[in-house]
Chain A
Amino acid sequence: MYRILEKTQFSEKVFKFRIEAPEMAKHAHAGQFLMVRPNECGERVPFTFADWNAEEGWVEFIFMVVGKTTTMLSRYEEGDSLLDVTGPLGQPTEMGPGTWCVIGGGVGLAIAFPVARQLVETGHEVHAIMGARTKDLLLLEDQFRSILPEDHVHITTDDGSYGEKGVVTAPLERLLEAKAVDQVFCVGPVPMMKFSTLTAEKFDCPITASLNPIMVDGTGMCGCCRVEIAGETKFACVDGPDFDATKVDWDDLRARQAAYRTEEGQSLKAYEEANCACQR
């Protein structure tokens, strides 16, 4: 059992859990993830580490309420326990030399933050582009600001309710044009990653994406999370989740992400009608 030490709510649908997991905290790296099975009848869901502390023995992850499992998780409180938490899984993000631009969209900001922080800690100059649909969905602004110079934090919202109106590719294009960055890391919804990649490619700038396909075991045994990279099949859980974004088949990723849309709807409906085996 993995105790929830702290629960934080960022917006109506976005939460953070701090979980007691000393061994995991000792071995976690930026870019890696964990898998949660909340209870006996639960499914296994991957979440990227948002933070961890080896001395205090905890790890954190951020989630947005989108379906049954995340709805149920949002009702867990401090002191409750998750039945199974497995990790760290996947490869740590590789952090080569040069100036970096870290792009996070929506909940992807939670994954982008530890990458940005580790880059800063290892002596890199870092720009962050923070994207959200609206101001309320913008995560971790204070945390990003606490590690980066003011003019290195670029904020965009789709509706213009905060920061610059529009999407993350506008500030990215400006940075690339000014030759201010050597390397891009992006994480967020598929369209955001796809268009960031097209922008980076235009300037011949290397770009890495952290992919988020559906997973079952997370240890390379099933291949549910497979993605096509330069025409080759790779397993995101053991070969990734980070890949050279210019080589990713985005349509394939999107199609596979959507494979269980109908079932996801059924599951949430059954939960709301209290028909699941271990109702919470």
Chain B
Amino acid sequence: MPEVNGRWVADMKAPRTADNEESAEERARDFRPVDRGFTEEMAVAEAARCLRCKKPLCVEGCPVNINIPAFIEKIYEKDFGAGLDIIRESSMLPAICGRVCPQETQCEGKCIRGKKSEPVAIGQLERFLGDQPELASKPEMKPANGMKVAVIGSGPSGITCAGELARNGFDVTVFEAFFTGGGVLVYGIPEFRLPKAVVKREIDGLKEMGVKFEFNSVMGNLADAEELLGEKGFDAIYVATGAGLPKFLNIPGENLPNVFFANEYLTRVNLMKANQFPEFDTPTKHGKQVIVFGGGNVAMDAVRTAKRLGAERAIIAYRRTEDEMPARKAELHHAKAEGVEVMPLVSPLEFLKGEDGNVCGVRVQKMELGEPDESGRRRPVPIEGAIEEIPCDVAISAIGTNANPFAKKIGGMELNKWGYIVADEKTGRTSNPKIWAGGDIVTGAATVILAMGAGKAAAADMTTVLTGQE
């Protein structure tokens, strides 16, 4: 029993509550969410495992420092609304972050219980609350202050910033290039990992708070910074356009039909619903033998999507080993359970053209791990002469992204030589006193929670500066 003589004693015997998952054989055939999330019973049992540390390391591990022990305590008390309110003091997107954060390197990685056994399932608990948004108290809204802010991009950073600004009394308009809001949350992360209904709920919540959305609006080609701050009458801009431009492998055959960048492969399915072709008009390729190059979440999402589109053999090929893969551990585990094959220590050399003109295979160089590099990870080095051909009818490159070109077109602020915006890490301030920026277009491809944290920090700083409290 956790309470002994009025003092909290964690349930030290209880093992970590297992995830509530669909069976691998069933789920690998369609796009249903893999993880059903905790039931109330499971959540309360897991909450009992928390030690309620006086100096909670988990809070330090969270990029936005959610008061984790406090919300877990509320779950244990079954006061779910109060728990959610605690999270929302720091994070507006718990249903999303609970699902997609790499907890093992953040909050759960720091959890003291992880030292001897397994950490508390903080992500699952956060998600449990996030999935019951109706329990949260209505956010306190400051009266309108008469100032207008333009937010460019509706990914996690943009929507967080927009929500915070609206709460602070600003008249906020979000400009989004696509026909729907969410950025990578809708075009990149698949339904089986993040249901689109969850994203829609967040966007709808912002609309209820008075945030306006202008979709199909490619800023930079439509209005630029000068026009937004001039004739359009905005008092400030937050730029959160992300880093979505795919990196090339720069090897022969990269432009053959059926060789994809992961962004295209995922956008066709996630955003355009190509898995439902021809009911939906956008087609995709249903490869029987699919190989994906990369070791991050995008690579995992692509290979698991390939499996669901009917691949008999779906390979994730990475130039280091499983241990160095930057993907969320849970996704690697899910992928393997679904029958995805992991091929470590290979690097692509050339895509091969079949008789029909499409890709029919890939030549790979086998690698071994050498001395550690600057990042401290052991550098993969080619094994001389160890070259192999792997047949495939779809190949996907998921080796990362670069800054998208629209920050430059929006103009009015300093960029670095790679096209990222130069902005203060803590405040999001750019070289232009009326423009703030944050998320991947400042940091390069990172995580949802970091993008969100940047949006929140920028909103706070914008509020201070614009309302003259500085």
Contacts and interface: CB of A to CB of B under 8 A. Distances in A.
Contact count band on A: 35 or more
Contacts of A41: 273, 279-281
Contacts of A44: 272, 282
Contacts of A217: 177-178, 187, 267
11 contacts: A68-B281, A86-B177, A89-B221, A216-B272, A219-B406, A224-B264, A255-B257, A267-B283, A271-B278, A275-B279, A276-B278
A247 to B, nearest CB: 14
- Where chain B touches its partner, the secondary structure class is loop
Nearest to A41: B280
Contact of A216 (B177, B267, B278): B267
Given A41-B279, A84-B216, A221-B244, A23 B254 contact: no
Contact count band on B: 35 or more
The 4 closest A-B CB pairs, nearest first, are A263-B283, A222-B264, A43-B281, A259-B257
B222 interface: yes
B283 A221 contact: no
Given A41-B280, A277-B280, A27 B222 contact: yes
A280 B127 CA distance: 40
A163 interface: no
A275 B218 contact: no
B404 A83 contact: no
Interface string B242-277: 001110101000111110110110011000110011
A27 B222 CA distance: 6
Contacts of A276: 278-281
B263 A255 contact: no
A86 B281 contact: no
Nearest to B245: A220
B282 A216 contact: yes
Contacts of B257: 255-256, 258-259
Contacts of A189: none
Given A220-B245, A255-B257, A238 B216 contact: no
A228 interface: yes
B279 A86 contact: no
A83 B178 CA distance: 12
Contacts, number: 120
A220 B278 contact: no
A66 interface: no
Contacts of A238: 405
Contacts of A228: 255
A23 B404 contact: no
A88 interface: yes
A219 B404 contact: yes
Contacts of A24: 222
B179 A86 contact: yes
Nearest to A260: B283
A256 to B, nearest CB: 6
B221 A223 contact: no
A108 interface: no
A216 B264 contact: yes
B215 interface: yes
Contact of B258 (A83, A233, A259): A259
Given A23-B222, A42-B281, A256 B255 contact: yes
Contacts of B218: 86-89, 219
Nearest to B276: A277
A240 to B, nearest CB: 12
A222 B179 contact: no
B136 interface: no
Contacts of B280: 41-43, 276-277
B281 A69 contact: yes
Nearest to A226: B255
Most chain B CB within 10 A, of A217, A266, A277, is at: A217
A268 to B, nearest CB: 9
B230 interface: no
A270 B218 CA distance: 33
A271 B279 CA distance: 9
B263 A23 contact: no
Contacts of B272: 43-44, 216
